[in-house]
Amino acid sequence: MARGSLALKLGASFISSSLLLLLVACHSCSFYLPGVAPQDFTTCLWFVEKRVLAGGKIFIQSSYWGYIKHRLLYSFYLMFYMYFPFDEVELYLFWFSSHYSCQVLTFHLPSQGAELRVKVNKLTSTKTQLPYSYYSLQYCPPEQIVDSAENLGEVLRGDRIENSPYVFQMREPLQCKILCRVTLNTKTAKEFKEKINDDYRANMILDNLPLVVPIGMSDQENAVVYQHGFHVGLKGQYAGSEDLKHFIHNHLTFTVKYHKDSQSDLARIVGFEVKPFSVEHHFDGEWKNENMRLTTCDPHARRAVTSSESPQVIEDKKDVIFTYDVAFEESDVKWASRWDTYLLMADDQIHWFSIVNSLMIVLFLSGMVAMIMLRTLYRDISKYNQLETQEEAQEETGWKLVHGDVFRPPTNSDLLCVYVGTGVQFFGMILVTMIFAALGFLSPSNRGGLMTAMLFLWVFMGLIAGYASARLYKMFKGTEWKKITLKTAFMFPATVFSIFFVLNALIWGEKSSGAVPFGTMFALVFLWFGISVPLVFTGSYIGFNKPAIEDSVKTNKIPRQIPEQAWYMNLVFSILIGGVLPFGVVFIELFFILASVWLHQFYYIFGFLFVVFIILIVTCAEITIVFCYFHLCNEDYHWWWRSYLTSGSSALYLFIYAAFYFFTKLDITKPVSGVLYFGYMLIASYAFFVLTGTIGFCACFWFTRLIYSTVKID
């Protein structure tokens, strides 16, 4: 069997390793497609069977996901086999499948009376954007608090998943179960009041489903939207009193929805809802234990909590009794579609209409621009090719006059190479992430999977970052490739990491669980220095050893003088105008993304997001080409940085809109929270600048090489 060339081996290794790590990052089988059912996951274990007599092939057996994983892993096997002995491949795949698949493919089918354990997550607030651990408040703890294993994305999101004393029995309703009684002191009462003032919500998880509060829509009959978690408490006044009091939600009425299997007594959990109440519980006699009978809610007397008419006030030395009810409700929603309910938005019709309308307008404008460019260029090239006499050549005007300067290296060419390489890295990361998300690999059930996948992809895309920057640097006749490689590997990540480190220090100062622990910070640094930097050097080495990109025309030794330009061709004006249309493409989608991030709403429409991304690419390319052509026609050959900044200026509008969104849509109260918002949006805008700028530059680079290689140059 031919082993192939070294380049083919390196490429196959890079692709297979990237896909493997991406699948690992998103737990690989957290797959979500509405309406696709996991056919009877009664047996969900994988096993690898070595068949020596059959030629040493690997077979992966499972139901539903087994086929998909078999095809993926078999493809990886073919790639690795080019330069690994079979035994090493088998060992690697066996480790991968046994280590990652068993914990992911376990599918829980609880029977009647099976134990269901609720987990608690962070306390969140849209006012402060600072998450806290659930047990940072004086809630009822279990005998021993155990942290659940979390992926990298969950830790960066501030998730803190822990066990809880809430225990249900499948399809066995429970009424007025006493959890515990706590006595508030001055400190704990103050903490509860602060969290209530900041509108904090408590989050829980059951069978990997987040706890939601159903909210009825007043303007739509039978329409319900869902909010993450329940409020810690509420503020109000007693009748006839003007004093504002704080009340705690100490009674929870859970509703667990399930879909029963038609062929067995097993059922799948498809919904987890709650209605919180504030109740000042009473009991007769002295408190003994959690088996006391309450007079405010008693299952024996069929007395249930249905309102907060006598709420539990929060005061120093006040006893608070925590209770809960559990009701089970059979649902027609199938397990494969259980996330559909959570992902429906209240304004979905407006959302879809706005997206489609925006796409149609952008496509129409892009079509017009493309038609104008094709007709204009065809006429110009035909005219220039017909110039034969010396007199005619002397009279020609337009972009052909600057052919001897159009490929002259720009000022700060090193910096341009770095930004182009980083932009290519970003483009590759986002493109692959979009494809996997649109195909359903990054499901909403996999918390933190999207962020984890993006981090791993960013690290491995360092290979193409180094390659792109080195190729452009060599075209500019650069010789210090190691210097440019170091800048590519460190400039953007160091800037982002510095901002992130400062923001993380502010979060630490607020004692929030959103602060990244030292171990996770070390893991990020390791991904950067241990994997990304070596890959950037590898890509740069490969790119610099390739032949330099040849210019379409020769560059004159003496720069041509640029004539005075009209006011509308001014550098700043043209750059600012060029960023309007790319921002207009993402404007509507940006609104919903910001709502998802800062208002804690569900977002899972990656199909439309992928379409918007494609339209953004086309728009950035076309608007940059148009402006580049106009400047060349005016004998301005300084197109290198101008092409990057023209489409990259859309990031300025993104940051301005983020500021507008902050003052009009958010109710952030703390100064630290405001700094966090603008810090993270600054990082996002910087990344958007690098992405869109690189798209515009690459399009203009292709365009100039094309037109100057087409016409006859004497």
The rounded distance, in Å, linking the Cα atoms of 651 and 240 is 54
What is the pLDDT averaged over residues 566-576? 83
Strand-strand pairing, 233-236 and 245-248: antiparallel
User: What angle do helix axes 533-544 and 481-509 make, rounded to 10 degrees?
Assistant: 160
In this structure, of 381-385, 441-445, 659-663, the range with the lowest mean pLDDT score is: 381-385
Say yes or no to pLDDT of 374 above 60: yes
Type and span of the H or E element at 660: helix 650-665
Average per-residue pLDDT for the chain: 79
Type and span of the H or E element at 59: strand 57-60
| CA-to-CA separations, 353 to 175, 349, 356, 389, 488, in angstroms, rounded | 45, 6, 5, 58, 41
- Cα dihedral 620→473→418→487 (10° resolution): 180
Say yes or no to pLDDT of 331 above 60: yes
The rounded distance, in Å, linking the Cα atoms of 654 and 683 is 11
Residues above pLDDT 90, as percent of the chain: 43
Say yes or no to pLDDT of 413 above 80: yes
What is the pLDDT averaged over residues 700-714? 79
Q: What is the DSSP string of 347-389?
A: THHHHHHHHHHHHHHHHHHHHHHHHHHHHHHHHHHHHHHT--S
502 CB neighbour count, 10 Å cutoff: 11
Say yes or no to pLDDT of 433 above 80: yes
Tens of pLDDT, residues 146-175:
998 778 888 888 889 999 999 999 999 998
Please report the pLDDT score of residue 89 as a whole number.
38
Say yes or no to pLDDT of 703 above 90: no
Residue 191 — very low, low, confident or very high, per pLDDT cuts 50/70/90?
very high
Of residues 608 and 429, the one with the higher pLDDT is 429
Most confident of 147-156, 291-300, 448-457, 655-664: 655-664
Residue 689 — very low, low, confident or very high, per pLDDT cuts 50/70/90?
very high
Please report the pLDDT score of residue 217 as a whole number.
63
Residue 322 — very low, low, confident or very high, per pLDDT cuts 50/70/90?
very high
Residue 381 — very low, low, confident or very high, per pLDDT cuts 50/70/90?
low
Q: Are 206 and 269 in contact (CB under 8 A)?
A: yes
Type and span of the H or E element at 183: strand 174-183
Q: Which residues pair with 132 in a beta bridge?
A: 123
Residues above pLDDT 70, as percent of the chain: 77
In Å, the largest CA–CA distance within the chain is 114
Residue 31 — very low, low, confident or very high, per pLDDT cuts 50/70/90?
very low
Say yes or no to pLDDT of 357 above 70: no
The rounded distance, in Å, linking the Cα atoms of 326 and 332 is 19
Q: Which residues pair with 50 in a beta bridge?
A: 58
> Which of 707, 551, 698, 516 has the alpha carbon at shortest distance from 629?
707
Say yes or no to pLDDT of 233 above 70: yes
In this structure, of 215-219, 578-582, 680-684, the range with the lowest mean pLDDT score is: 215-219
- Residue whose entry in the numeric block shows the structure tokens 């002397």: 394
In this structure, of 92-101, 478-487, 602-611, the range with the lowest mean pLDDT score is: 92-101
Please report the pLDDT score of residue 345 as a whole number.
57
Residue 199 — very low, low, confident or very high, per pLDDT cuts 50/70/90?
very high
Say yes or no to pLDDT of 39 above 50: no
The rounded distance, in Å, linking the Cα atoms of 506 and 676 is 8
Of residues 294 and 14, the one with the higher pLDDT is 294
> Which of 311, 254, 300, 305 has the alpha carbon at shortest distance from 278?
311
Question: 0.85 cut: is pTM over it?
Answer: no
Tens of pLDDT, residues 91-111:
343 344 434 333 344 456 778
Query: What would the 3-class secondary structure string for 204-230 be?
Result: EEECCEECEEEEECCCCCCCEEEEECE
What is the pLDDT averaged over residues 590-597? 89
